[in-house]
């Protein structure tokens, strides 16, 4: 394994942890409108961004830990 290939799992792990923490923070810190309905809470740009951050963070963490093999193009 060359040097660049040895660093990639560590990069995936660090970047994924940052994405997961950012997604969790976005869920708690996002501005809320008064009397917001459940649908408005879910279909909100900040909520969708947080969900995408969490999803890509979890996927990258699984790549970094070796649970899922990255696709070879």
pLDDT attached to residue 67: 93
- Rounded Cα gap, residues 27 and 34, in angstroms: 16
70 in a domain, yes or no?
Answer: no
Tell me the pLDDT tens digit for each residue of 27-72: 888 877 888 888 887 788 888 899 999 999 999 999 999 899 877 7
Which residues span the domain enclosing 28? 3-65
For the entire predicted model, the pTM comes to 0.79
45 in a domain, yes or no?
Answer: yes
pLDDT attached to residue 1: 61
39 in a domain, yes or no?
Answer: yes
The total of structural domains in the chain comes to 1
């Amino acid at each position: 394994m060359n040097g660049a290939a040895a660093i990639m799992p560590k990069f995936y792990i660090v970047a994924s942890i940052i994405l997961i923490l950012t997604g969790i923070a976005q869920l708690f810190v996002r501005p809320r409108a008064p009397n917001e309905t459940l649908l408005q809470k879910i279909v909100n740009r900040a909520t969708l961004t947080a969900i995408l951050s969490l999803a890509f963070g979890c996927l990258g963490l699984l790549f970094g830990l070796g649970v899922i093999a990255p696709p070879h193009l």
